């Protein structure tokens, strides 16, 4: 029985995934590391510091900087990112999301957030959606970045729901792995060929359909 939906934020609720990309790209340009959309896919869902480490390895500069220098780089990226998102508002909620949240609520199912972003609460506030969430897992308390299931398990615990009765919604490959390893039912949003490990995939948020998800979940748990 479904008792909770647990959402990723960036790229699912709103298109901030693109702003993360732009901010990392700007840092990459400064460092002489070219970050394209394909490499960016491997950063989706990954925490700030781990993303930086991956970028440095990608550019073969993993041994070039001190911890302090890396902290400054991550901080600069974040400042640029915060600048990019400061004007986001309810009009930036991705299509289909408000309807899905409404359908979930009207069926008395809980809603949680499992984002790796330390900016998540601010983004939800700007979107006017904070009150729609019954629990927001705190990324700063999460030790293991997705694909580790920790942040999804934190959200389920905070909601007081057994993971087996949770649906996780994600746009990142690392996020789908995290949901599956948390023993939740996984819903992917995006390209079916890269999110193939999800229980079901919708090509974009506008196609998310509460009834369809519930029917497929029941079928899955019966067979």
Nearer to Mg ion among residue 31 and residue 84 (C-beta): 84
Yes or no: say if 14 and 88 are a contact pair by the CB < 8 Å rule: yes
Strands (E), 59-183: 110-113, 135-136, 166-170
Q: CA 8, CA 92: separation in Å to the nearest integer?
A: 16
Interface with ligand BG6 (CB under 6 A)? 9-10, 17, 20, 43-48, 51, 78, 115-119, 139, 172
Q: Which residues contact 77 (CB under 8 A, 6 or more apart)?
A: 23, 24, 26, 27, 48, 52
Strands 166-170 and 110-113: unpaired
Q: Is the Cβ of residue 27 or residue 46 nearer to ligand BG6 in the bound state?
A: 46
- Helix (H/G/I), strand (E/B), else coil: 19: helix
Per CB under 5 A, which region of 89-97, 146-154, 164-172, 180-188 contacts Mg ion?
Answer: 164-172
H/E segment holding residue 40: helix 37-41
- Report d(CA 160, CA 110) in Å as an integer: 10
Pick one of Mg ion, ligand BG6, none as the site partner of residue 171 (Cβ within 5 to 8 A by kind): Mg ion
Residues from 18 through 37 that contact Mg ion (CB under 5 A) = none
Min dist CB 138 to ligand BG6, Å, is 11
Q: How far is the CB of 171 from ligand BG6 (least distance, A)?
A: 8
Contacts of 86 (CB under 8 A, 6+ apart): 126
| Pick 57 or 164: Cβ nearer ligand BG6 | 57
State yes or no: is 10 an active-site residue.
yes
* Interface with Mg ion, residue 178, by CB under 5 A: no
171 is catalytic: no
d(CA 73, CA 57): 15
For residue 40, the minimal CB distance to Mg ion (Å) is 12
Which of the choices Mg ion, ligand BG6, none does residue 20 contact, using the CB cut-off of 5 to 8 A by kind?
Answer: ligand BG6
118 binds, among Mg ion, ligand BG6, none (CB under 5 to 8 A by kind): ligand BG6
Residue numbers annotated as active site: 8, 10
Interface positions with Mg ion (CB under 5 A): 8, 10-11, 171-172
């Amino acid at each position: 029985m479904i008792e909770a939906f647990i959402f990723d934020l960036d790229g699912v609720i709103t298109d901030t995934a693109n702003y993360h990309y732009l901010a990392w790209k700007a840092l990459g340009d400064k460092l002489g590391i070219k970050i394209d959309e394909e490499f960016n896919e491997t950063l989706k869902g990954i925490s700030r510091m781990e993303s930086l480490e991956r970028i440095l390895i990608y550019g073969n500069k993993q041994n070039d900087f001190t911890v302090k220098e890396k902290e400054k780089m991550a901080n600069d990226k974040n400042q640029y990112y915060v600048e990019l998102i400061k004007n986001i508002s309810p009009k930036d909620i991705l299509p289909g999301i408000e309807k899905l949240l409404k359908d979930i609520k009207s069926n008395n199912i809980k809603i949680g957030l499992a984002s790796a972003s330390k900016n998540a609460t601010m983004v939800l506030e700007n979107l006017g959606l904070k009150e729609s969430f019954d629990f927001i897992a705190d990324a700063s308390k999460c030790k293991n970045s997705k694909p580790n299931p920790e942040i999804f398990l934190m959200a389920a615990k905070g909601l007081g729901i057994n993971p087996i009765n949770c649906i996780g919604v994600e746009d990142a490959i690392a996020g789908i792995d995290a949901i599956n390893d948390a023993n939740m039912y996984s819903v992917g949003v995006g390209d079916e060929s890269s999110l193939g490990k999800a229980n079901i995939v919708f090509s974009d948020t506008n196609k998310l359909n509460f009834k369809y998800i519930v029917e497929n979940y029941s079928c899955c748990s019966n067979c």
